[in-house]
Amino acid sequence: MVQPLRLGLAGLGTVGIGVVKIVQRQADLITARTGRSVVITAVSARDPQKNRDADLSAYAWETDPVALAQREDVDVFIEVMGGHEGPAKAATEAAIAAGKDVVTANKALLAHHGQALALAAEAAGRVIRFEAAVAGGIPVIKALTEGLAGNQIRRVMGVMNGTCNYILTRMANAGLPYEVVFEEARQLGYLEADPNLDVGGIDAGHKLSLLASIAFGTQVAFDHVELEGIGNVSIEDINLADDMGYHIKLLGVAQMSGRGLEQRMTPCLVPAESPFGQLQGGTNMVMLEGDSVGQIVLRGPGAGEGPTASAVMGDVIDIARGLRLPTFGQPATVLKPAIPAKSATPAPYYLRMTLLDKPGALAKIATCLGEAGISIDQMRQINQPGGQDDDAIVIFVTHKAAPADITHALSRFEATGVLVGQPVAIRIEEL
């Protein structure tokens, strides 16, 4: 008789309780699909007395997740605590050392320590699965490691932070400024304890670095992701983009060029009628481009109890079925160190700046653009409602320009003496 697969669950927050519910509710279905039963034997959380929306009475309790990871009655250690240091890292390392397989939803842990953990797990004959760490309920890891394994991946692109997408679409739909919607998201509990993880692009950057490792056969290189959050996106930018047929999204792009691995997570203008442009609320979307398959688009809920727990259990069921793959699709020993490369693909850019009403002000800015080799496609001047009489918002849309040329032009603007505040430059991504 096949023995049950025994789970040790560390973390009883939203995702952890979601896992408990699926194991309890779908026990017969899981057994039918795997040929063995899957049971939770022990759990770990800081406060055993806390009221939780699930019956946990049948499980052994450990207040120390490391002790849970080392229990003899645990085959698979599930880590849904979060954090890239401290208990999550210590318990994951302890689980591998104790001969356990690991399933985690912790994108930060793998973005910072993925290569070392993968080496340790594979040396011990164990697996680390992390479908829930990227894009919630969307099976994008499985798509890359299995369904598209016969493809040379050319590009990975995605909207992978539901909080940022909620803020940007809420601003657009309600006409509200960033600061108001940010506070609204905080009150609704959408933001991390450190909001910059969300709005600064860090959370989404973690996810992009994991996808890039699988897609391009490199060691995880989160430190090389070009990051820019959404804090400088104004309601004026959103409205003006809409007038031009675009929406603004926090978009991640990873691709391998002849110079190295390009990874960026930045606000972009995307065509309003494109799949990314139509993405609303907390929904995530990932586009994968392979040499044989072309482009495929995966869309779904990027967070939440059910979707993320669903992804966790997908990994658990694969382990129960005996499916054992290297952590990042190839053995960690053969993954190449990523050679970082700044994005160099030319694209149109949206530029917004406030200029003093001085003679020749506009000409000075145009000269800076010309000297940087950037040609102007459109220009618009907007008087500020309630603003200073001598200030005006000026919008430029450029023809395709190299990112380095845009950066060079922006660096020259300050010396003109005609700017009020900092200019905003947003790439227009032609999907």
DSSP for 342-402, written as a single string: -----B-EEEEEEEE--TTHHHHHHHHHHHTT--EEEEEEEEPTTS-TTEEEEEEEESSB-
What is the rounded distance in angstroms from the CA atom of residue 397 to the CA atom of residue 206?
Answer: 31
Residue 156 contacts residue 254 (beta carbons within 8 Å): yes
Which tokens belong to 396?
A: 């430029």
Regions of the chain with pLDDT less than 70? 1, 383-390
Question: What's the pLDDT score for residue 386?
Answer: 55
Q: Which residue has the tokens 């003109």?
A: 416
Residue type at 192 in one-letter notation: E
pLDDT at res. 430: 81
Identify whether 336 is a catalytic site residue.
no
Give residue 78's pLDDT.
Answer: 98
Spatial contact of 44 and 74, defined as CB atoms under 8 Å apart: no
Catalytic: which of 100, 107, 142, 207? 207
Distance between CA atoms of residues 387 and 392, nearest Å? 8
Half-sphere exposure of 20 (CA within 13 A, CB side): 22
Residue range 146-155, pLDDT digits in tens: 999 999 999 9
Helix (H, G, I), strand (E, B) or coil at 428: strand
* C-beta separation of 284 from 160 below 8 A: yes
Give the C-alpha separation, 221 to 202, whole Å. 13
Q: What are phi and psi of 143, to 5 degrees?
A: -60, -45
| Residue with tokens 């054992």, as numbered in its chain | 324
pLDDT value, residue 391: 78
Output the pLDDT for position 248. Answer: 97
DSSP single-letter state for residue 303? S
Identify the CA nearest to 66 among candidates 23, 97, 109, 41: 97
- What's the confidence (pLDDT) of residue 390? 64
